[in-house]
A and B are shown apart, each in its own frame.
Chain A
Amino acid sequence: MKVTSYHTTTDIPPIFNQTSSERVATIISRYPTGKEKSALIPILHLAQDEFGGWLSPSTMDYVASLLNLKPIEVYEVASFYSMFNLRPVGKYVLEVCHTGPCSLNGSDDIIQFLKNKLNINAGETTPDGMFTLKTVECLASCGTAPMMQIGKHYHEKLTPASITQLLDDLRAKHPNA
């Protein structure tokens, strides 16, 4: 994702809750003294999970402060890895694999089905903020293609029927959305 400016939103500086703070301390303790920067990627995952599914400038600045890093050291890492969202995303990010083996087994049809069903393009979020559709590269699920990742889980051997069921189940969890 091309990022031209980070400080574009007026977000509130976040703070980890007690459990996450303890988790941060545990993570940092795994690396030798003086090598705490190793904890950056695990902590960015934690921060993304806790602060709305994306890494806002304030979130990244906060993570920088926890590890005594300059903000730029966090931005340059966050912008390198495809799992870090640098813009707001929907409650559920549907990441559909479209590399070789998935493509042999119909991932193009699955992506088209999702585009029609959600009425959005890849890279967009539904107006109700529920779903973001993304195409991603190989997720090591080639034997169970076509597939997509939602949050921490893989959904494999997808069919239009299984996707419809899945989306209905997810929507049912948020009746007021």
Chain B
Amino acid sequence: MLDMGQQLLLKNINVPGIQSLEVYEAQGGYQSLRKALSSMKPEQVTEEVKLSGLRGRGGAGFPTGMKWTFLDRKSGKPIYLVCNADESEPGTFKDRFLLEHIPHLLIEGMIISSYAIGAHKAYIYMRGEFAWIFPILEKALDEAYKAGYLGENILGSGFSLDLYAHPGAGAYICGEETALLESLEGNRGNPRLKPPYFPAVMGLYDCPTVVNNVESLAAIVPVLELGGEKYASIGIGKSTGTKLISASGHINNPGVYEIELGLPVEEFIFSDQYCGGIPRGKKLKAVIAGGSSVPILPTALILNKANGEPRLMSYESLADGGFQTGTMLGSGGFVVMDETTCIVRNLWTLARFYHHESCGQCSPCREGTGWMEKVLYRIEHGLGKKSDIDLLIDVAKKIEGKTICPLGEAAAWPVSSAILHFREEFEYHVQFPEKILNPKHFEFEPFVSQKKEVSLS
């Protein structure tokens, strides 16, 4: 086990000039790449990644090494590696932190990964709004080319790779891997049907493609540095290694934290080493633990599982209890809400987000997200009816599982979970419209649930 404070991805983040190749190398940068190219076969690199137990850090948590083995190697077509840097999930800003402050970590991870999967062209698809990061990334790429880490015959190994940065232009949906590939091909970001468009078989330009998140690719560097087995010994159970958590909302120290998986949620929220507790002496009300798409949990269930055991920051612990009493680690976008928060209002802003970001391809999502936004608007603005609450659940159910891509679920889950855990608050809005006219209705008089606290004994 690592000390909780020890870090793999961010260990050098405070070294002045770490953005530059020179300082990055001085801190041991590009040693993992040298090791891979000089002493390992591509299959051995993949094997180490599988051994490490590293799971996709973008949200789905799928094992990275296994994803690589799905590649169709018989087609004879070129293989591509694409980095998903379209970070747009509300509450998530960890990839931005890596791209902005330590670009060479991603570049090194991508070269190693390309070597492992046999890609000779790779792209970083970064959301267009990160406009000021493009010059940082392009400078780093330029340095890597000049140092012989990119281009022909890298470090005399015979392996060649071209790596480019590519901007998106404002579309959350392009974080979905097949939509990202459509966008990278210069089209509207409409997700593709699977089958046949599994990226590993028919990805970029209909060629076999691996799409990995920024943090997953960056983590390849410490995986090779430590070896897969040692990396797997960090963390807890099947949640191996460290994870970047972007913490925001009502906390004293918002920011990006690297934690060893398995850290208790309570410690993460209240310890001064991390979020530092809730400002102004307010009480904790709810947390969205893994980006806006995952189910929201009330205080009792985020700090402890339904059986009373402490909830940990890990894929398994956060998911414990399924959607009745659990949630997901997701992207690690950790949004904390204090007692003054109106759950309905927050949900309305999220419903508006999903409506705005629906690509419009599937009717249940295109129409359903609009319905949810409108119904939530009227509940929050004192125009709701009691039947609206069940209407919301009904609409959410009719989106879930009925769309080409997971944006449908991402839009439906926050709605169904908020009503599951905070139904009384929705009823209060409908019953006492005059009490919620001020947009900050719970600021001075927090809503108090009449429901019995969940017993934790």
Contacts and interface: CB of A to CB of B under 8 A. Distances in A.
B169 A99 contact: no
B346 A103 contact: yes
Interface stretch (A7-15, A41-49, A118-126, A165-173): A41-49
Contacts of A92: none
User: Closest 8 interchain pairs by CB?
Assistant: A81-B169, A82-B170, A37-B186, A152-B131, A142-B248, A83-B170, A40-B186, A143-B254
14 contacts: A37-B185, A38-B184, A45-B169, A81-B170, A84-B170, A103-B346, A104-B346, A137-B88, A137-B352, A139-B129, A141-B96, A143-B256, A145-B254, A152-B131
Contacts, number: 143
Nearest to A98: B349
A128 to B, nearest CB: 25
B248 A80 contact: no
Given A41-B169, A104-B337, A104-B341, A145 B93 contact: no
B248 A143 contact: yes
B276 interface: no
A43 B205 CA distance: 19
B171 A81 contact: yes
A84 B169 contact: yes
Interface in B334-362: 335, 337, 341, 345-346, 349-350, 352-353, 356-357, 359
Interface in A144-161: 144-145, 149, 151-154
A100 interface: yes
Interface in A2-23: none
Most B CB within 10 A of own CB, among A40, A67, A82, A144? A82
A139 B90 CA distance: 8
Given A77-B188, A105-B249, A108-B439, A41 B346 contact: no
A42 B346 contact: no
A67 to B, nearest CB: 8
Interface residues of A, number: 42
B341 A101 contact: no
B333 interface: yes
Interface string B268-302: 00000000000000000000100010000000000
B167 A82 contact: no
A140 B96 contact: yes
Most B CB within 10 A of own CB, among A35, A38, A83, A140? A140
B70 interface: no
Nearest to B162: A30
A38 B184 CA distance: 6
B91 A142 contact: yes
A76 B335 CA distance: 35
Given A76-B188, A81-B171, A143-B254, A103 B345 contact: yes
B248 A152 contact: no
A76 B247 CA distance: 37
Contacts of A100: 90-91, 288, 292, 335, 346, 349-350, 353
Nearest to B414: A100
Interface string A56-67: 000000000001
A83 to B, nearest CB: 4
